[in-house]
């Protein structure tokens, strides 16, 4: 499997570290339902069979976090972007 890093170009997935589903966002710890929200954030996953937005870290490359859209049934990658909004391949 090869991932086309927007900064470094197409590289082996060996160069990247995987975090997982990019959808969960850290809840507000002061919200009244924070306990329930943190449980869902830490543990529960949709785990779809199909396209999934996920976070990869280019640890042996530019050391940026990437958001990769990959089909979990075929490993086909349809989109790669920097995870942080506003980052560019400068």
Residue 35 or 89: which CB sits closer to another protein?
35
Cross-strand bridge partners of residue 12 = 2
Residue 16 or 64: which CB sits closer to another protein?
16
Rounded CA separation 61/43 (Å): 29
- Binding another protein (rule: CB under 8 A), the pick from 4, 10, 12, 34 is 12
Does 88 engage in binding with another protein (CB under 8 A)? Answer: no
Rounded CA separation 24/83 (Å): 13
Cross-strand bridge partners of residue 54 = 21, 68
Judged by CB under 8 A, the chain residues 19 through 78 that form the site for another protein are 20-21, 39-40, 42-49, 52, 54, 70, 72-75
């Amino acid at each position: 499997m090869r991932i086309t890093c927007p900064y470094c170009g197409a590289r082996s997935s060996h160069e990247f570290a995987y975090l997982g589903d990019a959808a969960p966002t850290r809840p507000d710890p002061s919200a009244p339902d924070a306990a329930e929200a943190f449980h869902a954030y830490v543990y529960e996953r949709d785990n779809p069979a199909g396209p999934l937005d996920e976070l990869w870290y280019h640890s042996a490359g530019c050391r940026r976090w990437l958001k990769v859209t990959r089909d979990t049934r075929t490993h086909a990658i349809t989109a790669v972007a920097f995870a942080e909004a506003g980052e560019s391949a400068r």
